[in-house]
C-alpha cells in the first residue's frame, strides 16, 4: 500500500509525511524529532527532494494516462507550470 502524500523533506533531511497509511503512527517524540512520519531516513539531500515529490509525480502521470494524453491532447490535463514546479522541487537540493 502506498503512503499518501504529500511528502516533504523533514527536519534532519529524511523524507516525512503526515499520513500514517502504510506506516502506522509514530510516537510524539519521533514526530517531533523528524517532523512527521518517516518515509525514508538515510538519503542524500538531492534524493530526498526527488523522493518527496514522488506521490505528486505519480498523480500527474496517472492523470495524463487517464486523460489519454498519450493518444491525443485534450483539455483538463495538468498544466506545464505544475510540471515545471515539480521538476524544480525535485532539483531543489541538487548542486
Whats the size of the chain, residue-wise? 95
For cell 492523470, the residue is 63
Rg (CA), the chain: 15
Whether the model clears a pTM of 0.75, i.e. scores above it, the answer is: no
C-alpha closest to that of 21 among 41, 5, 40: 5
Provide the grid cell at 40: 525514508
Alpha carbon 7 to chain centroid distance?
4
- Strand, helix or coil for residue 2: coil
Please report the pLDDT score of residue 10 as a whole number: 92
Instruction: Give the pLDDT of residue 9.
Output: 93
Digit-coded pLDDT (tens) for 14-28: 999 988 887 877 888
Amino acid at each position: 500500500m502506498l503512503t499518501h502524500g504529500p511528502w516533504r523533506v523533514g527536519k534532519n533531511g529524511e523524507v516525512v509525511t503526515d499520513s500514517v497509511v502504510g506506516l502506522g503512527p509514530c510516537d510524539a517524540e519521533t514526530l517531533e524529532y523528524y517532523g512527521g512520519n518517516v518515509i525514508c531516513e538515510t538519503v542524500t539531500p538531492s534524493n530526498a527532494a526527488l523522493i518527496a515529490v514522488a506521490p505528486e509525480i505519480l498523480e500527474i502521470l496517472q492523470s495524463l494516462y487517464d486523460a489519454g494524453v498519450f493518444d491525443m491532447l485534450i483539455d483538463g490535463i495538468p498544466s506545464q507550470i505544475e510540471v515545471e514546479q515539480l521538476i524544480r522541487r525535485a532539483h531543489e537540493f541538487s548542486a
